[in-house]
Amino acid sequence: MKLPGHKKRKHVAADIGSRSGRLRAERELTFADHGFLRESFQNLHQISDEMWRSNQPNPRQVAEHARQRGIKTILNLRGPSTRGYYLLEQEACEANGIELIDFQVYSRDTPTVERVFEAKELFEKITYPALMHCKSGADRAGLMSVLYMIFRQQLPVRIAIQQLSKKYLHMREGKTGLLDAFFETYLAAEAVTGIGFEAWLTDEYDREQVKADFLKSGQAKLRLDWILRRE
């Protein structure tokens, strides 16, 4: 809600090369991006012998991933940014010999066919061990973990979809439930015709219809989205 007389604060990119810019970036990471909540809770899970998932790591955690887990690649599912959390992660990856790849996906929309196949290609190209993260490690990381399990680990969708669960803090009781609806729509088609996931994507998937059916169902409890305040 916009309050009378309230002006949205314009974000200024942090220059982490200067002391004042670095302090601003650290404040952005800690407070504006809720990094203080992630200091001791990383929502960190190893989902295969080569892949981890988590919430947004801070520079110390990036170094720990390199040192303790041998992480070679980090997939940033939030996309590039001028904000402190991103600039500090970028710097930490460079310092620790980790390749940072920006691959933006969304938690409150149905994925496009193009992005799904781009994810498949990405999983075949990156250097492992790898870690993928969004802000909370729940929804976008969940979507990509399901796709990783399908494409890289060759698991059936009905098993891979377990990566979208409350175990990882994913909540389907809001617009993030669109991610569940996407995979469940496929599973319904598979049950009737036995169609494969990739064939369904290219021949049958109607992104806008899946979204419309989900919103019409009343499962999108927007109040929950507001309470969680996730991206």
pLDDT digit string (tens) for 190-203? 999 999 999 999 99
Q: How many C-beta atoms surround the C-beta of residue 77 within 10 A?
A: 27
pLDDT above 70 covers a percentage of the chain that reads 89
The domain 19-171 is placed in CATH, from the list 3.40.1160.10, 3.10.20.30, 3.90.190.10, 3.40.50.360, at 3.90.190.10
Q: Under 8 Å CB-to-CB from 208, ≥6 apart: which residues?
A: 110
Quick check: 2 pLDDT over 50?
A: no
pLDDT tens per residue across span 129-138:
999 999 999 9
Distance of CA 149 to CAs 8, 132, 231, Å? 41, 13, 24
**For residue 221, what pLDDT is reported?**
59
For the chain, the three-class secondary structure string (H helix, E strand, C coil) is CCCCCCCCCCCCCCCCCCHHHHHHHHHHHHHHCCHHHHCCCCCCEECCCCEEEECCCCHHHHHHHHHHHCCCEEEECCCCCCCHHHHHHHHHHHHCCCEEEECCCCCCCCCCHHHHHHHHHHHHHCCCCEEEECCCCCCHHHHHHHHHHHHCCCCCHHHHHHHCCHHHCCCCCCCCHHHHHHHHHHHHHHHHHCCCHHHHHHHCCCHHHHHHHHHHHCCCCHHHHHHHCCC
CA 120, 122, 125, 130 torsion-angle sign: negative
Rounded to whole angstroms, how far apart are CA atoms 107 and 85? 19
What band does 116 get if pLDDT is binned at 50, 70 and 90? very high
Please compute Rg for the chain using Cα positions: 19
| Better-scored residue on pLDDT, 174 or 71 | 71
Q: Under 8 Å CB-to-CB from 78, ≥6 apart: which residues?
A: 56, 86, 102, 104, 133, 134, 135, 140, 231
**For residue 230, what pLDDT is reported?**
58
What band does 219 get if pLDDT is binned at 50, 70 and 90? confident
pTM score, whole prediction: 0.89
The region that residue 43 occupies, defined by phi over 0 for left and psi between -120 and 50 for alpha, beta otherwise, is: left
**For residue 13, what pLDDT is reported?**
55
Q: Calculate mean pLDDT across residues 94-117.
A: 97
